Amino acid sequence: MIFSSVEFLIFLVVLILLYYQVGKQHQWFVLLLASMAFLGYLSANFLVYTGLIITINYFLGKLIEKTSEAKKKRRWYFLGMVVNIGQLVFFKYINFLIQNINLFFGIFEPSDQVPYMNIILPVGISYYTFECIGYLIDLYRGTSKAEKHWGIFASYILLFPKLLAGPIERSKSFLPALRKKYDFNPALFNDGLIQLFWGFFKKLVVADRIAAVVNTVYGNVDEFTGLPLLVLLVLQVFHMYFDFSGYTDIALGIGKLFGLRLTNNFDRPLFAQNISMFWRKWHISLTTWCNDYIFKRILLRRMRWKKWAAVYGVFMTFLIIGIWHGAGWNFVILGTMQGVAINYEFFTKRQRLRVASHLHPYWVRFFSRILVFVFFAFTLVFF
């Protein structure tokens, strides 16, 4: 059941009617059942597996909060990291690791090959894994409280509008939102409908039409040279933006239909004047998550390195962002290029400002946006 299907629209209408008819204290339960039905429709196995991961994180969160002894607390926290990162690595990266092991040992023993594993990536695993990790980190740091109600916690992880393509929601703000009781709000509901249909327009009318061209060229890339490839370089940026932001608008619009406000993932990123600004406007929930739980942690642990701590932190953060998008060396290159670009901006900021001071602000903005666009377009080749 995809968002643009007739089945989903019928599902959504029935769900809205039920949501506002039941007692307000049961609204979270309606969302939980709907999310379980949504995932179960895609795969019963995925539903069972995700339920297991939710239950493990739920009990680990309670153990982390109630354990006062530092060593035991650290053990529960470490176990949570192993479970969440381990299952993500297994499902998403195990065959990539096997491929590289075979390439390496094939140099010495070409006949010895580790067999690939026939596994299917669970729906939404990249998103809900980060949500679970962030939840446990907040508990370990003592900056939030463990959720006492399994159903509320499961609703947070499984919530169907964000399950397929995010955004990555923070437990500190979203768990309390699920506990609230919502009256029907005509203004918010209308706003949600507008955003929902705007998302469908971006995805179905714009992105899917561009995809027909992009996929044709990439599917027969050896047959094209010159101008068609340059056009592809530009079109793929708009395809990626309208496709991904379209999904985000659909998710945000659905959330508003139920009184929930999900995190906006895009803020006019194609108008960014540098790569740092671009990543503050593109896939916002991912980049802010990585900033809070990866980059800042690296800075704290490497303070003695001074400015090189930031350099290292940027590289590691964007390497993880690159790999998070997929298993392959192309994603490693993608993340590395972003890290190089942002560090370049950091070390050349003074010189670039000096040059910009001699130019009209309009042309500075214009050429800066063009350069960011071209750089991002080039990196999407690896994506």
For residue 168, the SS3 value is coil
Separation in Å, CA 209 to CA 220, 240, 345: 18, 12, 35
10 Å Cβ neighbour count for 206? 17
Report the distance separating Cα 5 and Cα 377, nearest Å: 31
Closest CA to 94 of 70, 120, 72: 120
For residues 250 and 196, the answer to whether their CB atoms sit within 8 Å is: yes
Closest CA to 144 of 364, 293, 279: 293
Burial 249-258 (b: 16+ CB within 10 A, else e): bbbbbbbbbb
- What's the burial of 167, exposed, middle or buried (CB within 10 Å: 0-12/13-18/19+)? buried
Of the candidates 149, 325, 358, 360, the residue annotated as catalytic is: 325
Q: Is 325 assigned a catalytic role? A: yes
Separation in Å, CA 164 to CA 31, 195, 250, 366, 383: 16, 18, 11, 35, 19
Separation in Å, CA 93 to CA 49, 85, 116: 18, 11, 11
Report the distance separating Cα 209 and Cα 345, nearest Å: 35
Active site residues: 325
